[in-house]
Each structure stands twice: as C-alpha cells, then as structure tokens.
C-alpha cells in the first residue's frame, strides 16, 4: 500500500464503491461436522449424510471452485479493487470446513474488523488458521481496529440443553426453535449487513441474543445493531434474504421477511423495497449439488458499486430483472462450484474498504 494511504478498513454499507476485499479459497475443504440437530436445522435434507467428520468435498468440485474463486479475484483486481487471499489450509486435517466463506467469520463495521464468535465448533479456528496474516497486515495501520473473538474457556456449552433454552425471536417471544442456546455469545458475521450507522441482522441457528449484545458492545461508537424479523425456519446467514442494490433500494426474499418487517426499521423508512417476484429457476444444465444452500443463493450477489453487481453466470432471469427494472449492470461470472460448497459472491468475500463518496 502506498505511503500515506492508511485506510485499510473502512466500510459503512454494502453498495459504495468497493476498494479492498478478501476473496476466499477452496482447497482442502471438508463437509462441516456438527451435531445432527444443527445439520438437520440448517442444511438441505437430501445431503445431510455428507456432514460427518473427515469427509472432503468431491475433488472435482474443489478444483473447479478454486478456479472460479481465482477468476473472480482476477476480475475484481482488473477493476482496480485490492484483493487479499487467505492462507492455504488443510481443513480436512484440521477438522475444519473451508477458507471459501470468509463472510461468515469476519464483519467490517466502519474502521473495525470483527471476528465472529462462531456457534459451530468446527469453525472455531477458521480465522486463526486462514486469516492471521491478513489480520496482522490490516491491524498494523494504526487507523483500524481488529477485534478477535472471545476465547471459549473449558467446554463449549452452546448445544447444551438446560435451563437456558429459547432466547426469543426478537419480539419478546421465548418459544424459539433455534438449535443453539444462549449460554455464551454466538454469531456468524453473515447474519449481519451494514446500512450506514445501522447494522441489520437476524437471529438464526448460529446467532443468539448474547451474540447480538456482544456485537453491539464492540462496534465503534455511533453504530447500532437492529434485528430484522425473519420467518426462515432454517435461518443461517441473512445474505440470501435481503440484498441492497444501492442506497434506497433493496430486494428481499418474500417468504423469509416482509415489507412490514423491513419498514419497522427507521433506516428503511424511505427505501424502495421489492420482493423478488420469481421462484429461483433450476439451473440448466443442472450444476453440481447445492450441498448447503437453497436456490435463493441467487440473492447472494456482491455489489461493486451502486450500478455493478456480481451475479452467477446461470442466474440470467435475476440478471435481466435487475437490469430492466433497476438499470443495474450485472457482471456474470461462473460460480456454481463455489455455490455447491455453501455460498456465492457475498459469502466468499469480506468487504474491507468501500469508499463513502
């Protein structure tokens, strides 16, 4: 980085021009292994049997996903965006999952990069193993702040049944069906998105009330964390539920949230809110299995600025819709093998700098 250019972490929203980003990597990724009740709650039922210890993703999916990630990173670089890549890790040997989904583990809020206190045990070392070089480079600037996740001392209690059971859905209702309890803070960074000084998030099978409180306690002064009411019984990551295209314009999954729920947040008071009007189309020809996600992953786009957006090459109906209706310029990019492993462009990245003008 040029001398004097010390802004290494600075992002307040999801749509201002992207200047620096982390792009994940796929090598040696393995199916995450978590208790059966968590897998049943969050993963497509037909693929549940894969989620056991020591089970790598099929080699062909991994090598093609790696090519897709490298190609995507090269596209971003060609547009003048600074791209950081994590270390290559043997996730199979480490008992971990992947380096391809950094969005789940790191959240930028203003000048602060926050490591998620993952609910999933198999992800607890993910940032440590894959991203420490990036964190030390970013933390060296003096203008940015890196907040590592709290250490879990002793046995993790997050899956224990016991007195602390439901923690509500954000409306004072304690009859929640979430798999994790509220015994320690837990969240995945991908359950949150930046809308200026307001961070919008959701409670989910990986994000509990203490996690939300913890996030509120460590965001820089002036930012507040608000919980959107969602109705996704498999909730895990908000980035296939809402998609801001630019300031004042948001697309949402009509079965997971509603205009009324969104309007309940001051930040959306003057926004145009559009339900995505089509059911996601099956891909033609059928791509690799979607082991971990629903076809609504088409909403997991990444904005380069208020006009340009990265869209999976096969999601042509979605691409035409955002072009015709909103004048967006989608950049189509093959990403089906990354999708197969658990996410799309938003999941596979962490915005580090978005310029505010």
Least distance from ligand ARG to the Cβ atom of residue 238, Å: 8
Cα–Cα distance for residue pair 168/203, rounded to 1 Å: 9
Cα–Cα distance for residue pair 295/288, rounded to 1 Å: 12
Cα–Cα distance for residue pair 113/219, rounded to 1 Å: 9
- DSSP result, 235-288: ---GGGTEEEEETTEEEE-TTT--HHHHHTSGGGTT-EEEE--SPPPPPSS--S
Q: List beta partners, residue 250.
A: 244, 273
Active site residue 104: no
Q: Which is nearer to ligand ARG, 236 or 353 (CB)?
A: 236
Catalytic entry in 188, 191, 232, 315: 188
- DSSP result, 141-159: TSS-EEEPPPPPPSS--TT
Active site residue 237: yes
Q: Which is nearer to ligand ARG, 296 or 326 (CB)?
A: 296
- DSSP result, 49-87: GG-STT-BPPHHHHHHHHHHHHHHHHHHHHTT-EEE-PP
Q: Which is nearer to ligand ARG, 240 or 352 (CB)?
A: 240
Measure the CA angle with vertex 65, ends 58 and 125; round to 5°. 80
Cα–Cα distance for residue pair 41/86, rounded to 1 Å: 29
Least distance from ligand ARG to the Cβ atom of residue 143, Å: 27
**Is it true that the peptide bond before 285 is cis, omega within 30 degrees of 0?**
yes
Find where tokens 């000048």 sit: 111
Q: How far apart are the first and last CA of the chain?
A: 21
Least distance from ligand ARG to the Cβ atom of residue 189, Å: 8
Instruction: Give the list of residues 6+ apart from residue 93 with CB closer than 8 angstroms, or none.
Output: 28
Q: Which is nearer to ligand ARG, 183 or 350 (CB)?
A: 350
Least distance from ligand ARG to the Cβ atom of residue 1, Å: 27
Least distance from ligand ARG to the Cβ atom of residue 118, Å: 12
Active site residue 239: no
Catalytic entry in 237, 253, 274, 337: 237
Q: How crowded is residue 153: how many other Cβ atoms within 10 Å of its Cβ? A: 7
Q: Which is nearer to ligand ARG, 121 or 343 (CB)?
A: 343
- The backbone region for 77, taken as left when phi is positive above 0, alpha when psi lies in -120 to 50, beta otherwise, is alpha
Least distance from ligand ARG to the Cβ atom of residue 193, Å: 11
Q: What are the strands of the beta sheet with 112-115, ordered from one edge?
A: 106-109, 112-115, 145-147
Q: Which is nearer to ligand ARG, 125 or 157 (CB)?
A: 125
| 35 DSSP 8-state letter | -
Interface residue list for ligand ARG (CB under 6 A): 101, 103-104, 190, 236-237, 239-240, 293-294, 296-297, 300, 342-343, 347
Least distance from ligand ARG to the Cβ atom of residue 101, Å: 5
Which of these, 131, 133, 132, 130, lies nearest to 28 by C-alpha position?
A: 130
Q: Which is nearer to ligand ARG, 182 or 344 (CB)?
A: 344
- Which residues participate in catalysis according to the annotation? 188, 237, 347
């Amino acid at each position: 980085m040029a001398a004097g250019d010390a802004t290494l972490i600075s992002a307040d929203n999801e749509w201002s021009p992207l200047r620096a980003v982390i792009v994940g990597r796929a090598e040696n990724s393995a199916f995450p292994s978590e208790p059966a009740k968590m897998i049943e709650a969050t993963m497509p039922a037909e693929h549940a049997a894969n989620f056991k210890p020591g089970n790598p993703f099929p080699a062909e999916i991994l090598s093609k996903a790696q090519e897709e990630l490298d190609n995507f990173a090269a596209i971003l670089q060609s547009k003048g965006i600074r791209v950081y890549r994590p270390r290559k890790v043997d996730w199979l040997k480490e008992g971990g999952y992947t380096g391809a989904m950094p969005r789940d583990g790191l959240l930028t809020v203003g000048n602060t990069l926050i490591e998620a206190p993952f609910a999933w045990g198999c992800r607890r070392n993910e940032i440590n193993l894959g991203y420490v070089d990036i964190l030390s480079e970013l933390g060296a600037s003096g203008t940015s702040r890196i907040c590592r996740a709290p250490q879990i001392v002793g046995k993790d209690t997050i899956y224990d049944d016991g007195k602390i059971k439901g923690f509500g859905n954000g409306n004072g209702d304690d009859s929640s069906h979430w798999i994790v309890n509220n015994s320690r803070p837990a969240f995945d960074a991908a359950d949150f998105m930046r809308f200026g000084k307001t961070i919008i998030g959701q409670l989910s099978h990986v994000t509990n009330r203490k996690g939300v409180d913890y996030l509120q306690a460590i965001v820089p002064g002036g930012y507040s964390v608000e919980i959107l009411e969602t109705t996704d019984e498999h909730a895990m990551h908000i980035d296939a539920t809402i998609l801001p295209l630019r300031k004042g314009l948001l697309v949402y999954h009509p079965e997971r949230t509603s205009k009324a729920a969104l309007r309940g947040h001051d930040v959306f008071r003057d926004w145009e809110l559009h339900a995505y009007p089509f059911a996601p189309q099956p891909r033609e020809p059928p791509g690799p299995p979607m082991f971990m996600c629903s076809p609504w992953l088409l909403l997991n786009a990444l904005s380069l600025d208020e006009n340009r957006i990265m869209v999976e090459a096969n999601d042509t109906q979605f691409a035409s819709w955002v072009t015709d209706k909103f004048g967006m310029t989608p950049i189509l990019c093959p990403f089906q093998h990354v999708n197969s492993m658990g996410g799309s462009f938003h999941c596979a990245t962490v915005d580090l700098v978005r310029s505010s003008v």
